[in-house]
Amino acid sequence: MTVPTQLNPKDVADLLAQGRAVLFDVRDPDEFARRHVKGARLRPLASLGAAPLDIPPGAMPIFTCRSGMRTAANCAQLAAASGGEAIVLAGGVDGWAAAGLPLVEDRKAPLEMMRQVQIAAGGLVLIGVGLGLLVHPGFFGLAAFVGAGLTFAGATGFCGMARLLALAPWNRPARS
């Protein structure tokens, strides 16, 4: 297993300021839109191997995600994309924020799709269980239906709830 080299946020900020590094955010676009390190480039994990990283000569690629868990779990893929070792921002965007370094935040951007799915699924399960206990046991079927849907999504990679939520008005681009 490949182990990433972790750099603390202050050291990464110094390298970026000196032009000796480029920070790549490996999260999905919806996560990046809501909050990211100022100056970071979006390069989702799914597209990481599609094209070489655009890095100036003499600069090193550094990767980040929200907490550092995703970069650690995909270290081999990051090392392959960088053509050497995987260098990651310790603590991810959360660590950067905790260090008081500049972020780009858009609180009006929708919550990340997976968070929306978690909120909706959890709410439906709670409603199903609550109504099953208080009104009629048939409502337990709602909780079972949501559980089956989540199991199917995990097994196949297709999440019907995410598809439905993507159609919600808050997830559509604003018309100009």
Instruction: State the sign of the Cα–Cα–Cα–Cα dihedral 90, 96, 100, 102.
Output: positive
Mean pLDDT of 95-123: 89
Q: Which entry of 22, 65, 121, 143 is annotated as an active-site residue?
A: 65
Q: In the structure, what pLDDT confidence band is assigned to residue 85 with cuts at 50, 70 and 90?
A: confident
User: Bridge-partner residues for 6, per DSSP?
Assistant: 88
Dist CA 22 CA 59 (whole Å) = 7
pLDDT score, position 149 = 92
Q: Which of 92, 47, 31, 39 is nearest to 66 (CA)?
A: 92
pLDDT at 154 over 90: no
Is the distance from CB of 68 to CB of 152 less than 8 angstroms? no
Concatenating the DSSP letter of every residue in 100-155 gives T--EEE-TTSPPPHHHHHHHHHHHHHHHHHHHHHHT-GGGHHHHHHHHHHHHHHHH
pLDDT at 100 over 80: yes
**Percentage of residues of the chain with pLDDT beyond 70:** 97
* Fold of the domain built from segment(s) 5-105: Oxidized Rhodanese; domain 1 (3.40.250)
State pTM to two decimals.
0.72
65 catalytic residue (yes or no): yes
pLDDT score, position 13 = 97
Is the distance from CB of 113 to CB of 162 less than 8 angstroms? yes
Mean pLDDT of 71-100: 92
pLDDT one-digit tens code per residue, 56-68: 998 999 999 999 9
pLDDT at 2 over 70: no
Q: Is 163 exposed, middle or buried (0-12, 13-18, 19+ CB in 10 A)?
A: exposed
More confident position, 39 or 1: 39
pLDDT score, position 4 = 83
